[in-house]
Structure 1
Amino acid sequence: MNTFTTSRRAFRNFYLKFPQEIEEAGRLDGLGHLGVYWRVALPNSGAMLASLGALSFLEAGTPSSGRSSSARTPSRGPPRSRCPPSSPRRRSTCRRCSPGPSSRSSR
């Protein structure tokens, strides 16, 4: 799950569970919707903001999975032969190093 989705869900759950009495107290003091948010709800969400900041920081340092990490993997090139070049006997018995059936002369 990405950081944006996690943050959005955390904010939504926090503000849905925010006590209605505190919002009503702000409205009784003469605050509007934005004033209640800015002066009451936002200062009370400091711990949540700090924890989401820490989670975002930790997730940024973690390698992601999927296409983005595999796209950064360097190409290793063609497979190398396991037979040493100095042993002709071994080359003739190795399936990888011996010539295929199409290159052999027909009898």
Structure 2
Amino acid sequence: MKFTILGFSHPAAYDLGLDINDLAILRWYIDFKESGYMNKKVIGGKEFYLVIYEYVLEYLPILGMKKDAVYRRFKKMCDKKIFMLISASLLLDIETDISIFAPLIY
């Protein structure tokens, strides 16, 4: 029997303190990244992918979250070393609600 939720190891997710909403967002990110449609930027040889929080909400309305809650979920995953974050406002030199993430683990 596999102990996975949305394709992720349940024990590993539990050990990292991730809940089902975190896993749904992570699944969305991976699926979107793998689709080839997600905008990416190579910085220092590492691929970073653009995340627009409104898109997460559009594709995952079942989460019932607001934009700032989605940001906090991504930030939590950065704190857990799942993602590395670069602020798009720093990179693009504009004020924006967009962030750029590089996956560190799956």
Q: TM-score range by the shorter chain?
A: under 0.3
The answer to which structure has the higher strand fraction is: 2
The answer to which structure has the higher helix fraction is: 1
Calculate the TM-score normalised by the size of structure 2: 0.28
